[in-house]
Amino acid sequence: MNADLHCHSLLSDGTLEPEALAARAKANGVELWALTDHDELVGLGRARAAAHAAGLPYLTGTEISVSFAGTTVHVVGLGVDADDAVLATGLAATRGGREPRAREMGEALARAGIPGAYEGALKFVGNPELISRTHFARFLVESRVCSDTQEVFRRYLVEGKPGFVPHRWARLGDAVSWITAAGGIAVIAHPARYKLTPTEDFALFSEFKAHGGRGVEVVTGAHNAADALRYADTAREFGLLASRGSDFHSPEESRIDLGRLPRLPAGLTPVWEALEARVHAPA
Ligand code: AMP
Ligand code: MN
Ligand code: MN
Ligand code: MN
C-alpha cells in the first residue's frame, strides 16, 4: 500500500495548506495519508475534511519534539484522538518554548551580523505558536544570505553554528505516554538523521520500547536504501511496527514528494495494519 504517514502543513513548518496536501497526496497515488505537524493538532480537522472530500483514507497524526541524549529526536504519533486533553496539554507545553527560543535565535543571528531575522522569520510563519528553524531558514534564503535552506542549516542553525540556540523539548517517556493515552501509536521518526552512536541508538530504542513506543520509520525522505535496511533490522530486533512517510514540507524544498517513496523492505509488519480501526474512510 502506498501509505504516506508523515508530512507538514503551513500550520507548522510546511508551506502548503492541509487541503493542498490532501489533494497532492491523492494526485500522487497515496492510499493512506496522515498530516503530522510539529507539536500541534490544529490542522487535523481541515486535513480530515479535505481527505474525505478527496476520497483519501486518512489517519490523525503529529510529530513531537523530544530531547534525548543531548540531541533532538522526533516521535510521530499516529491514530491519536485529536480531542484528547492529555495530548493537547503536552503539545501546548512543548510549543510554549518556541517563542522565547526564536527571539534568542534572532539575537544570536544579529550578533553574527544578520539583523532582523526574528521579524523576518515571522513573515513565513503560518501558526504563531509554531515558529521553527525552518522559518528562519526561509528568511535567510529570501535575504540572500544563503542560496537554499540546506545551506542555512549547515552554516547557521545546527549545533555549533552561530544561530543555534540549545533547547529542552519534551521527554521521550512523556511524548510516548501522551500519544498512547490519546489512543495512538508512537513511532520514532527518521532515526538515521540523529547520527547516534550504536550505544545511543540502542538506548533510544530500548527506552522507547520500555515507555510503550511501538513503531519506527523505516522508509522516509531522509533515509537512503542502506538506512532503510538498517532500521528494518532495528524494527525486527525490537519487535516494532514499520512506518513509511515522506516528511514532505514544500514543493520547492523537499527532495521527496508525497507518496513517492520506496516500498518497505520485506519481512516487516506495517504500522497501518495495527491502525485499521483508526482510519477515517472516505465517503
Ligand atoms: P525546529 O523544530 O524549530 O528545531 O526545526 C526543525 C525542522 O527544521 C525540522 O523539522 C526540519 O523541517 C528542518 N530541518 C532540520 N534540519 C534540517 C536540515 N539540515 N536541512 C533542512 N531542514 C532541516
Ligand atoms: Mn519540519
Ligand atoms: Mn522530524
Ligand atoms: Mn517531520
Q: Residue 2: name the closest of 283, 270, 279 by CA.
A: 270
Please tell me the distance between residue 68's alpha carbon and the centre of ligand 4 in angstroms.
17
Q: How many whole angstroms separate alpha carbon 50 and alpha carbon 47?
A: 5
Centroid of ligand 1 to alpha carbon of 134 (angstroms) = 6
CB distance 15 to ligand 1 below 6 Å: no
Q: What is the pLDDT of residue 31?
A: 98
Is the pTM higher than 0.85? The answer reads yes
Nearest atom in ligand 1 to the alpha carbon of residue 193 is 16
Q: What is the mean pLDDT of residues 63-72?
A: 97
Secondary element (H or E) of residue 24: helix 18-27
pLDDT tens digits along 129-174: 999 999 999 999 999 999 999 999 999 999 999 999 999 999 999 9
Is 65's C-beta closer than 6 angstroms to any atom of ligand 1? yes
Determine the length of the chain: 283
- Confidence band (pLDDT; 50, 70, 90) for 125? very high
Write down the H helix ranges in 79-144: 85-96, 98-111, 117-122, 133-142
Atom of ligand 1 nearest to the CA of 167: 4
Q: How far is the CA of 154 from the centre of ligand 2 (A)?
A: 15
